[in-house]
Amino acid sequence: MPLRPLLSSNAPSLVLDVDHSSAATEGRRAAAQIAAFVGLGETMAGRASIVVNELCTNLLKHARNGTLFIHGSGSDLDLLAVDRGPGMADVGLSLRDGYSSMGTSGTGLGAVRRLSTEFDIHSLPGRGTAVFARLSANGAAAGNSAAMRAGAFWRPLSLDDLCGDACAVFDSGEQIVCVVADGLGHGVAAADASRAAVAVASQATNLEPTRLLERMHAALKPTRGAAVAVAVIHPRERMLRFAGAGNIAASIKQDALSKNLVSVSGIVGHQVRALQEFRYDWAAGSTLIMHSDGLTSRWSFDQQPGLAARHPAIVAAVLARDFGRERDDRCALVVREERR
């Protein structure tokens, strides 16, 4: 059975720093192109344009270091606005039509929620805000199953360049395949390596993590190589199989428990020691977090109360914002199995 992409950084995307009035125009143009790529109809594409405009307007009015992330996620269009602004003391109040802290009509966030197929928000006073909006081609949230949800955030060192980090999540019907790759260095050559790793995973028929890494090792030989990790979640067997080479960090979080996953040293495509698979328990409510070394390994949910329960896309974006290294590409991938 062919793998169905839940998300892939090889699909069209845009990271846009919203620090000028023309950002909304650029964002709407990119959203229209990506909406066409994922198959959104005219009505949903029109909604996407309004959502982009509202998110950019909010970032310009309220935020510091505001960023809009636009991504074609499977058959969905994902829009993610994240900032370091003053945050909100009462998120529910801010979502009410007619409420405004700046004397405007106060319909921005309320309109975003109404127009979106899926919506979530995380905000804390003094810590900033992240808003997630998904628009789906069929009018329902198709990108993730009801039980398994995925989200990611990535940005290059320089927005004028390609991101050397890549990630993807695929659904085989019985397993969920998760990949994070960090191409050596930065720019086009790094992106070529990490994207090649994702491309191998997208065509996989054998979903054993070590087998996937072996195929990636062969495919990446013409490139400068990459650190890569592969996690395969088996929901029915309540198990996660993991293999990695290089400095991709991964952990499983469940309630107050945390388990760091083990990778071996090496560079996929160049030099890798004997690959080894590790198996871990996986339960409903578990969250898998994988990231490149563009994020410090000392990240924690402690400074962001409530973040762990938010949509995985918001979790990924806030972790990348708060724990990202300023002189590196960054990529964070989050997958959660919701409790039924």
pLDDT for 105 equals 37
pLDDT in tens, 30-50: 999 999 999 999 999 999 999
Average pLDDT score over residue span 251-255:
93
Q: What are phi and psi of 109, to 5 degrees?
A: -65, -35
Q: How confident is the model at residue 144 (pLDDT cuts 50, 70, 90)?
A: very low
119, pLDDT greater than 80: yes
User: By the 8 A CB rule, do 48 and 97 touch?
Assistant: no
pLDDT for 159 equals 84
pLDDT in tens, 286-299: 999 999 999 998 89
* Better-scored residue on pLDDT, 265 or 137: 265
Residues facing 228 on adjacent strands: 181, 245
pLDDT for 101 equals 47
pLDDT in tens, 54-103: 999 999 988 877 999 999 988 899 999 999 999 988 777 767 654 444 44
Tell me: domain 11-136, CATH 3.30.565.10, correct? yes
Q: Which segment of 13-27, 133-147, 310-324 scores lowest on mean pLDDT?
A: 133-147
Q: Which CATH number fits domain 148-337: 3.40.50.11030, 3.40.190.10, 3.60.40.10, 3.40.50.620?
A: 3.60.40.10
Cα separation, 313 vs 74, in Å, equals 14
pLDDT in tens, 181-235: 999 999 999 999 999 999 999 999 889 999 999 999 999 999 999 999 999 999 9
Three-class HEC string of the chain = CCCEEEEECCCCEEEEECCCCCHHHHHHHHHHHHHHHHCCCHHHHHHHHHHHHHHHHHHHHHCCCCEEEEEEECCEEEEEEECCCCCCCCHHHHCCCCCCCCCCCCCHHHHHHHHCCEEEEEEECCCEEEEEEEEECCCCCCCCCCCEEEEEEEECCCCCCCCCEEEEEEECCCCEEEEEEEECCCHHHHHHHHHHHHHHHHCCCCCCHHHHHHHHHHHCCCCCCEEEEEEEEECCCCEEEEEEECCCEEEEEECCEEEECCCECEEECCEECCCCCEEEECCCCCEEEEECCCECCCCCCCCCCCHHHCCHHHHHHHHHHHHECCCCCEEEEEEEECCC
312, pLDDT greater than 70: yes
> How is the chain split into domains, by residue range?
11-136, 148-337
Q: Mean pLDDT over all residues of the chain?
A: 91
* Better-scored residue on pLDDT, 111 or 130: 130
pLDDT for 106 equals 35
